[in-house]
Amino acid sequence: MSKPEKLIIDGKRLDGRGAQDLRPIKFKAGVLKRADGSCYLEFGGNKVIAAVYGPREVHPRHLQDASRAIVRYRYNMAPFSVEERKRPGPDRRSIEISKVSRESLECVILQEMYPRSAIDIFVEILQADAGTRVAGINAASVALADAGIPMKCLVSACAVGKVDDTLVLDLNKDEDNYGQADLPIAMTPSGDITLCQMDGHLTEDEFRTALEMAMEGCRYIHQLQKQALIEKYGQMVSPPAQEA
């Protein structure tokens, strides 16, 4: 699509949202039988699946850490996930996203509980529509909890950006392509920031406001993540107590 003349008309974005609105979000925990934990997420037009394996033996063994579990994160875009076919396999962008996403989650995982083991997180982008790294982190966080990995808390993530000189929550594809700034943020429910990147320029005041908007978005996403886990586990019946 060519650059639209304006991205905000009469206070509304081209997809009809106000500046502070997120796109529709739908989480489903535990969608993969063979993973220890998993989550499917629709975040606007993004369709993402996260699978977690572990804690499990580390291969190759020289990667083992005697004091803690290592965390590995692979972000991968399917060739059919974007308009122009993506060449399969890792590239600079996916390696960078894998690294920062791993770091955004590693800090809440209680790695010391599982020395010499690995926790592997796979994030597959089936359909991309801007904000795939934050969508991946949101799905991975639920998948980790679904796998029973001990964590201090969930991590929630969303992007804030600037388009037509206005700060907007959760950029869509056109806003990402033609906007002035893009600021993906991940945080814990208590507001500790675990990922903060920025493309473009914001003033200091804009940055502060953007952080507040992201915090608001993350709070809402955190509620949805919890709901997805309650939907799966809230109705589980505990096995009857064994007689002595």
For ligand CDP, which stretch binds (CB under 6 A), given 3-11, 34-42, 63-71, 130-138? 130-138
Output phi, psi for 106, to 5 deg.
-55, -35
| Inter-CA distances, 194 with 145, 153, 166, Å | 17, 12, 25
For ligand CDP, which stretch binds (CB under 6 A), given 98-106, 126-134, 160-168, 228-236? 126-134
> What is the SS3 assignment for 199?
strand
Is 129 one of the binding residues for ligand CDP (CB under 6 A)? yes
Nearer to ligand CDP, 184 or 217 (CB): 184
Nearer to ligand CDP, 86 or 232 (CB): 86
Q: At what angle do helices 92-106 and 132-146 cross, to 10 degrees?
A: 40
Output phi, psi for 105, to 5 deg.
-105, -30
Residue 61 corresponds to which amino acid? R
Least CB distance from residue 15 to ligand CDP, whole Å?
A: 14
Is 13 one of the binding residues for ligand CDP (CB under 6 A)? no
Give the list of residues 6+ apart from residue 75 with CB closer than 8 angstroms, or none: 94, 97, 98, 101, 123, 125, 132, 133, 136
Is 141 one of the binding residues for ligand CDP (CB under 6 A)? no
Within 30-69, the residues that bind ligand CDP by CB under 6 A are none
Is 225 one of the binding residues for ligand CDP (CB under 6 A)? no
Nearer to ligand CDP, 8 or 82 (CB): 82
Q: Report the residue from 38, 111, 132, 188 that binds ligand CDP according to the rule CB under 6 A.
A: 132
| Nearest CA-CA partner of 123 in 134, 108, 110, 107 | 134
User: Cα 222 from chain centroid?
Assistant: 11
Least CB distance from residue 87 to ligand CDP, whole Å?
A: 8
Least CB distance from residue 211 to ligand CDP, whole Å?
A: 18
| Inter-CA distances, 111 with 2, 57, 72, 105, 122, Å | 47, 14, 12, 11, 18
Least CB distance from residue 220 to ligand CDP, whole Å?
A: 19
Least CB distance from residue 86 to ligand CDP, whole Å?
A: 5
Where on the chain is the footprint of ligand CDP (CB under 6 A)? Answer: 82-83, 86, 93, 128-133, 173, 176, 182, 184
